[in-house]
Amino acid sequence: MIILIDAGNTRIKAGWVNPDTCERELTVVAFQHADLDQLAHWVGTLPLPPTSALGVNVAGPTVAAAIEKILSKHNCSTEWVTGEPQTLNVTNAYANPELLGSDRWLALLGLAQRPHPKLEHADTTPCPLILAGFGTATTIDTLVVKKAGDETQADNLHYQFPGGLILPGPALMRTALAENTAHLPDANSNTTIYPTHTHQSIASGIAAAQAGAVLRQWLAALEYYGLAPQVFATGGGWPLVKEEVIRLLHFTQGRLDLPTTPIEWLPTPALDGLAALALQLQQSKNLN
């Protein structure tokens, strides 16, 4: 059994994959940085003893060292993955691939392993995919298909990551306003087009900024590649902006006379990417 670790800025998420059966965890667990002792308890409840761990870490070296120490007590070594020029079926166009956040990279790898949502016929051109992650930071990243001849079957798709956006996440925006202004509160409210009190104004402004960033990348993909992209969402901040993102995207699709497409929720794309990578690495070891 291989443990999968996604050490984020706020929480650590953990799962597992069995390389013999490809079986995954039924439920992902999540811990605050201060509650890492719960990780040790969770490892002890696994159906099989872990042989190794594969993870991504954007929480810093102190958190990484704490995780490694806990797992080493179970004779489980930890390997941290970083951005690379190419992994699995994704090519990274970042100027310095190793500087791409490992959580973003593995989340894109996880997305790329899914069946393409609009690929119904062999002669269909696959549309771009956008992954909007609403965490401590919001990241909006795009995958486009690199066509190899006429091969457009799902198992032959190779993607390129051309780049993406980073901006403060919804909660970080709210905290920044509360901590850096004299009179604005730490707002918690619903969103509306024309807010009539301060809490509502802040919540609506934050949602508008997040939705505008998503729409910008959606329009950019439409302009560059000539196909309306499919949007996926992930991250704990999604409920705070979901209504406005959907409203703005569907309004734009209607104005452009394009089909209205739902935004698909992905609970743990980084762990999905780690699982796919772990299975490939295990397969390579078995061959050698």
Q: Assess if residue 155 is contained within a domain.
A: yes
At 183 the pLDDT is: 81
Two structure tokens written together for 58? 């954007």
Bridge partners for 86 per DSSP: 91
Two structure tokens written together for 286? 């078995």
Question: pTM for this one?
Answer: 0.92
Cβ count within 10 A of residue 199? 15
For residues 129 and 28, state if they share a domain: no
- Number of domains composing the chain: 2
Q: Give the domain extent around 33.
A: 2-80
Q: Assess if residue 12 is contained within a domain.
A: yes
260 is in an annotated binding site: no
pLDDT of 90 higher than 90: yes
For residues 265 and 155, state if they share a domain: yes
Two structure tokens written together for 72? 């080493």
Domain boundary among 30, 59, 80: 80
Percent of the chain with pLDDT over 70: 94
Q: Assess if residue 202 is contained within a domain.
A: yes
For residues 66 and 195, state if they share a domain: no
For residues 53 and 151, state if they share a domain: no
102 is in an annotated binding site: yes
At 149 the pLDDT is: 45
Q: Assess if residue 85 is contained within a domain.
A: no
13 is in an annotated binding site: yes
7 is in an annotated binding site: yes
Task: Tell me the C-alpha distance between 128 and 159, whole Å.
Answer: 9
Q: Assess if residue 280 is contained within a domain.
A: no
Encoded amino acid at 131, one letter = L
209 is in an annotated binding site: no
pLDDT one-digit tens code per residue, 208-240: 999 999 999 999 999 999 999 999 999 999 999
String of DSSP letters for the chain: -EEEEEE-SSEEEEEEE-TTT--B-SS-EEEEGGGTHHHHHHHHTSSS---EEEEEE-S-HHHHHHHHHHHHTTT-EEEE----SEETTEEE--SSGGGS-HHHHHHHHHHHTSPPTT--STTPPPPPEEEEEESSEEEEEEEEEE-BTTB--GGG-EEEEEEEEEEE-HHHHHHHHHHHSSS---------SS--SHHHHHHHHHHHHHHHHHHHHHHHHHHHHSSPPEEEEESTTHHHHHHHHHHHHHHHHHHTT----PPEE-S-HHHHHHHHHHHHHHHHHHH-
At 119 the pLDDT is: 65
Q: Assess if residue 238 is contained within a domain.
A: yes
The whole-number average pLDDT for the span 56-62 is 95
8 is in an annotated binding site: yes
139 is in an annotated binding site: no
At 151 the pLDDT is: 47
Q: Assess if residue 91 is contained within a domain.
A: no
24 is in an annotated binding site: no
Q: Active-site positions?
A: 103
Closest by Cα among 65, 87, 50, 58 to 169:
58
Q: Assess if residue 107 is contained within a domain.
A: no
- Weakest mean pLDDT among 30-34, 233-237, 281-285: 281-285
Task: Return the CATH number at 51.
Answer: 3.30.420.40
65 close to 43: Cβ distance less than 8 angstroms:
no
Q: What are phi and psi of 21, to 5 degrees?
A: -115, -10
